[in-house]
Amino acid sequence: MKGFGKNFLCRTSFLHSFFIGFVYDSIRWESLCLTQCHFMEVLNVEMDVPYHLPLLLDGATGTNLIHREHMPLEQCPEQWILQHPQALLSLQHDFVKAGSQVLLAPTFQANALALEKYGLAAEDINLTERLVFLTKQASGGNTLVAGSIGPTGQGIEPFGKLRFQQIVDTYRRQVQAMRKAGVDLIVCETMTSLSDARAALLAAKETGLPVFVSVVVTEEEEEMPDGTKLLCALAVLQSMGADAFGINCSGSPGQILPWFEKIAPYAQIPLLAKPNPGNPNPVNLGQYDLGPEIFAKEVGRLIDVGVSIVGGCCGTSPEHVHALANLIRNRSSRPLQHHPDEDEVLAASGHEAFFLREDMTMGEPLSCELDMADDILEYEDSGFDILPVQVETEDDAYHLGLNCHMFRLPVLIASHSFELMEQSLFEFQGRALVDSQCGLENDELYRLAKRYGAIVY
Ligand SMILES: [Zn+2]
């Protein structure tokens, strides 16, 4: 796992970098797409939610509250907002007037793990519900209201102290509070690790609401701060049923454009961009490189390559949102571009995505152990294309999760137990293949594959 780049922390403005600095230190229709090469892919291929694309989100919450309303950096933002509700209402009214079609409730850090550093972990449900109510008040029914989910700030084992289950349970409390408070959709944003993004998506999908997932990308590595390649994140999250995938913060529209150009051919769900208007001005606090018109012009280039859900992150004012509203008024989003070879299927493991081919080979399955490094390296030297693992016990499934950052090949999971197969897919931070010949009932296997975005092989 890679560390967080220093430049990334400098460039990613303000509240998001402030937070990231703590991290680690509708009815949809589904398609069963049988390829020529034995891969059965269960994919959600079209979003059908009650609004049109292109869709306009809102602008920055944190930077505007700091510069316009003098929110202090040292206090928990969620708590401060509830103590100063007029500050948020004023800002969000301005976003509505500017043309936002979706307001994001300021629930970014209102999960129990992120609230721990303020001693407010037990307040997660209370804070989340009250903040959603406040944004619904600001919206006045003129926009959709989204619950915003941010990173937990905690890594999972072996890099952090927590089990993946604890991350999912933390998000589950927050998203159920959002659903109860009446959000229309959920936006998981500024995701810095694939494990947090998977956990947030798994929990949020349980609400039955549309779920967008947006990650941060570091400029120097072109990957998420935990080392996950962008194509890997897309492959994993879209196959798990995200309704949109994208990038927020991370740079200006022009800086994130090449990353969208690379992943757009493989996107089977709408792409989302919530970039920053460049870097903050070190002298004139609250000012950023790009004014509203040039920012909107650059966002137009993102729409040209296939992005259809737009907004602004740190530094974007209501004026930036107004310019975006003018931009999208007469734009229709470009249809999703599928890769020319529709039979290509993407698996993902160890932070990488892999194109599966018809002629792939594999050897005898590895058994799962606490430390699989030597076995994995030896297997990978043998020249096979797929690495099979056998899961026989609960410990095996747990150990598979502990070692999943080690894999440099697509991983196929075999198990004789439905429960163990499910636990393995839950713990595996990637997009695995599941062995259709391992004796499990096919309908059940496809149900599991759909939930975890796996590929039946
Ligand atoms: Zn941001």
Q: Which CATH class is domain 360-456?
A: alpha beta
Distance from residue 314's CA to the centre of ligand 1 (Å): 4
Distance from residue 176's CA to the centre of ligand 1 (Å): 25
Query: Do 128 and 107 meet the contact criterion of CB atoms below 8 Å apart?
Result: yes
Do 14-329 and 360-456 have matching folds? yes
Distance from residue 321's CA to the centre of ligand 1 (Å): 15
pLDDT > 70: percent of the chain: 86
H runs (alpha helix) in 206-252: 230-239
Query: Do 20 and 190 meet the contact criterion of CB atoms below 8 Å apart?
Result: yes
Domain 14-329 has CATH 1.10.10.10: no
Is residue 37 over pLDDT 90?
Answer: no
Distance from residue 113's CA to the centre of ligand 1 (Å): 20
Is residue 83 over pLDDT 70?
Answer: yes
Q: What phi and psi, each to the nearest 5 degrees, are found at residue 317?
A: -95, 175
DSSP 4-23: --HHHHHHS-HHHHHHHTTT
Distance from residue 289's CA to the centre of ligand 1 (Å): 15
For residue 317, the tally of other CB atoms under 10 A from its CB is 26
Distance from residue 154's CA to the centre of ligand 1 (Å): 19
Q: Which of 28-42, 81-95, 127-141 has the lowest mean pLDDT?
A: 28-42
Distance from residue 71's CA to the centre of ligand 1 (Å): 16
Distance from residue 274's CA to the centre of ligand 1 (Å): 8
3-state secondary structure of 113: helix
Structure tokens at 32: 């069963």
The Cα–Cα gap between 456 and 441 comes to 12
Contacts of 82 (CB under 8 A, 6+ apart): 127, 130, 131, 134
Distance from residue 288's CA to the centre of ligand 1 (Å): 13
Whole-number Cα distances in Å, 171 to 56, 150, 386, 440:
25, 10, 33, 31
Distance from residue 316's CA to the centre of ligand 1 (Å): 9
The Cα–Cα gap between 233 and 329 comes to 30
pLDDT at position 16, please?
66
Distance from residue 208's CA to the centre of ligand 1 (Å): 27
Distance from residue 26's CA to the centre of ligand 1 (Å): 28
Distance from residue 385's CA to the centre of ligand 1 (Å): 39
Which pLDDT band, with edges at 50, 70 and 90, does 338 fall under? Answer: low
Distance from residue 190's CA to the centre of ligand 1 (Å): 7
The Cα–Cα gap between 151 and 57 comes to 20
Distance from residue 151's CA to the centre of ligand 1 (Å): 12
Distance from residue 249's CA to the centre of ligand 1 (Å): 4
Distance from residue 105's CA to the centre of ligand 1 (Å): 15
| Higher pLDDT pick, 439 / 368 | 368
User: What mean pLDDT do residues 94-116 have?
Assistant: 97
Q: What phi and psi, each to the nearest 5 degrees, are found at residue 352?
A: -115, 155
* DSSP code of residue 339: P
- Report the DSSP pairing between strands 55-56 and 411-414: unpaired
Whole-number Cα distances in Å, 139 to 115, 283, 301:
26, 34, 29
Distance from residue 216's CA to the centre of ligand 1 (Å): 9
Distance from residue 204's CA to the centre of ligand 1 (Å): 21
The Cα–Cα gap between 202 and 266 comes to 22
Query: Do 272 and 264 meet the contact criterion of CB atoms below 8 Å apart?
Result: no
Structure tokens at 432: 């695995």
Angle among Cα 376, 381, 384 to the nearest 5 degrees reads 85
Distance from residue 284's CA to the centre of ligand 1 (Å): 19
- 3-state helix, strand, coil split of the chain in percent (to 5) is 40, 20, 40
Is residue 46 over pLDDT 70?
Answer: no
Distance from residue 302's CA to the centre of ligand 1 (Å): 18
Distance from residue 140's CA to the centre of ligand 1 (Å): 25
Distance from residue 3's CA to the centre of ligand 1 (Å): 19
Residue whose C-alpha is closest to residue 399's, from 410, 390, 412: 390
Query: Do 379 and 387 meet the contact criterion of CB atoms below 8 Å apart?
Result: yes
The Cα–Cα gap between 335 and 330 comes to 16
Q: With left for phi above 0 and alpha for psi between -120 and 50, is residue 47 left, alpha or beta?
A: beta
pLDDT (tens digit per residue) in 239-293: 999 999 999 999 999 999 999 999 999 999 999 999 999 999 888 888 899 999 9
Q: Domain ranges in the chain?
A: 14-329, 360-456
Angle among Cα 38, 39, 41 to the nearest 5 degrees reads 145
3-state secondary structure of 310: strand
Distance from residue 344's CA to the centre of ligand 1 (Å): 34
The Cα–Cα gap between 78 and 65 comes to 11
Which pLDDT band, with edges at 50, 70 and 90, does 5 fall under? Answer: very low
Distance from residue 359's CA to the centre of ligand 1 (Å): 44
For residue 336, the tally of other CB atoms under 10 A from its CB is 18
- Report the DSSP pairing between strands 307-310 and 433-434: unpaired
Which pLDDT band, with edges at 50, 70 and 90, does 206 fall under? Answer: very high
Distance from residue 279's CA to the centre of ligand 1 (Å): 11
Distance from residue 12's CA to the centre of ligand 1 (Å): 7
Which pLDDT band, with edges at 50, 70 and 90, does 194 fall under? Answer: very high
